[in-house]
């Protein structure tokens, strides 16, 4: 990978003059330099990187699967959120939590109005396989609410491994159906999930980070500040796959805004890509917007615009490209 990157950068000077003629840009190819690959310690994924000016960018979209998958706002193409009612407790862990809590001397169950014999009955039914832990939990919430309040947080912790496993299985099933979308395009994240998914040492780019990149590409300050329009004819070509910057933006599509949709609306894979920035603004007092960037096969420019973060019923989901400053 490193040898290929060095060869790629060396070739930039050969193609720069031709590219300048085609785009009208005075892009200084010497501003592109090799950067070390980054290995995400959370899942072992290796990302190639490139230095453009005083910034280091990943040349691939982020593909880290958050622990709860779609429940955390992290989607592969055509992904659907799994049904939480299918999440079950480990019987042994559930029984251990109930019995440990019942025997905890810190609680005076009689004074709290808890009928210990009833709780023991539910526990024994689960132990004997005559009742599911989820069903017993519902009965505890209804018939022994004071006890349920004590164990509620512990029950949530018991669910986490099961949720993580279901999230992984849901992701794998979706990838099998969509031809392993994430291997080419990364994953699509809600605005909130985008903040969570970025690995340590990197950041979700701000609007100013993108402006700095665009200025390095040769975009004029007058064009850089334009909003909700295509700016910088030729700049998009420099950033696309096989563009001379090595940024390597692929047309990943996105789960875009549709006012009436409750379910995701995945559109324009192979035609457009959308990148979150961390910069928020407002449409009015009740509607939050985020500044985004977009590229498309039908334009050689870069779209700087705003996007609803949600439609009141569901979140929007776009790609994440990570950046950091040159050290």
| Contact present, 323 and 192 (Cβ < 8 Å) | no
Residue 299: pLDDT over 80: yes
Pick from 3-12, 152-161, 304-313: least confident: 3-12
CA 203 – CA 200 distance, rounded (Å): 8
Q: Which residues of 169-191 are buried (b: 16+ CB within 10 A; e: fewer)?
A: ebbeebbeebeebbeebbbbbbb
CA 302 – CA 236 distance, rounded (Å): 5
Write the pLDDT tens digit of every residue in 121-167: 999 999 999 999 989 999 999 999 999 999 999 998 998 888 999 99
CA 74 – CA 67 distance, rounded (Å): 9
CA 217 – CA 231 distance, rounded (Å): 12
pLDDT band of residue 296 (cuts 50, 70, 90) is: very high
CA 323 – CA 310 distance, rounded (Å): 24
Q: Which pTM value belongs to this model? A: 0.82
CA atoms in the 13 A half-sphere facing the CB of 170: 27
Residue 86's contacts (CB-CB under 8 Å, 6 or more residues apart) are 166
- Rounded to 5 degrees, what are φ and ψ at 324? -150, 165
Q: What is the rounded end-to-end Cα distance, in angstroms, of the chain?
A: 21
CA 276 – CA 304 distance, rounded (Å): 11
| Contact present, 43 and 64 (Cβ < 8 Å) | yes
Q: Give residue for tokens 């875009």.
A: 256
Residue 87's contacts (CB-CB under 8 Å, 6 or more residues apart) are 159, 162, 163, 166
Write the pLDDT tens digit of every residue in 238-260: 999 999 999 999 999 999 987 66
Residue 3: pLDDT over 50: no
- Give the per-residue pLDDT at 20: 43
Write the pLDDT tens digit of every residue in 97-116: 999 999 999 999 999 999 99
CA 98 – CA 105 distance, rounded (Å): 14
**Beta-bridge partners for 275:** 293, 319
Token digits of residue 306:
């705003």
Order of strands across the sheet that contains 323-325: 32-39, 46-52, 55-58, 323-325
Token digits of residue 307:
């996007």
Percent of the chain past pLDDT 70, that is, above it, reads 91
CA 69 – CA 193 distance, rounded (Å): 10
Helix (H) or strand (E) holding 275: strand 272-282
Residue 8, classified by CB atoms within 10 Å of its CB into exposed (0-12), middle (13-18) or buried (19+), is middle
How much is the mean pLDDT over the chain? Answer: 90
Token digits of residue 211:
């402006």
| Contact present, 107 and 101 (Cβ < 8 Å) | yes
Radius of gyration (Cα) for the chain, nearest Å? 25
More reliable by pLDDT, 29 or 12: 29
Strand locations in 90-249 (E): 188-189, 229-231
Write the pLDDT tens digit of every residue in 13-35: 444 434 444 444 678 889 999 99
């Amino acid at each position: 990978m490193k040898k290929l990157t060095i060869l790629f950068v060396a070739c930039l000077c050969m193609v720069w003059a031709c590219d300048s003629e085609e785009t009208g840009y005075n892009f200084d190819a010497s501003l592109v330099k090799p950067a070390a690959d980054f290995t995400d310690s959370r899942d072992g994924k290796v990302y190639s990187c490139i230095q453009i000016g005083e910034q280091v960018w990943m040349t691939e979209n982020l593909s880290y699967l958050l622990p709860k998958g779609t429940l955390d706002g992290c989607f592969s193409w055509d992904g659907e959120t799994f049904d939480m009612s299918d999440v079950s407790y480990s019987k042994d862990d559930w029984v251990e939590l109930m019995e440990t809590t019942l025997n905890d001397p810190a609680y005076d169950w009689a004074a709290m109005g808890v009928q210990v014999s009833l709780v023991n009955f539910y526990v024994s039914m689960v132990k004997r396989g005559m009742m599911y832990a989820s069903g017993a939990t519902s009965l505890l919430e209804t018939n022994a609410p004071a006890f349920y309040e004590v164990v509620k947080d512990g029950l949530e912790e018991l669910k986490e491994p099961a949720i993580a496993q279901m999230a992984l299985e849901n992701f794998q099933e979706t990838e099998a159906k969509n031809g392993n979308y994430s291997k080419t395009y990364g994953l699509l994240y809600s605005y909130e999930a985008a903040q969570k998914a970025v690995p340590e040492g990197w950041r979700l780019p701000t609007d100013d980070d993108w402006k700095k990149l665009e200025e390095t590409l040769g975009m004029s300050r007058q064009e850089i500040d334009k909003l909700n329009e295509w700016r910088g004819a030729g700049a998009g070509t420099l950033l696309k796959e096989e563009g001379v910057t090595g940024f390597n933006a692929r047309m990943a599509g996105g789960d875009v805004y549709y006012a009436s949709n409750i379910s995701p609306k995945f559109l324009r894979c192979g035609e457009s890509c959308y990148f979150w920035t961390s910069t928020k603004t407002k449409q009015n007092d009740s509607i939050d917007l985020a500044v985004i960037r977009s590229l498309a096969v039908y334009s050689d420019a870069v779209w700087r615009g705003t996007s609803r973060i949600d439609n009141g019923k569901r979140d929007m989901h776009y790609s994440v490209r990570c950046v950091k400053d040159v050290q």
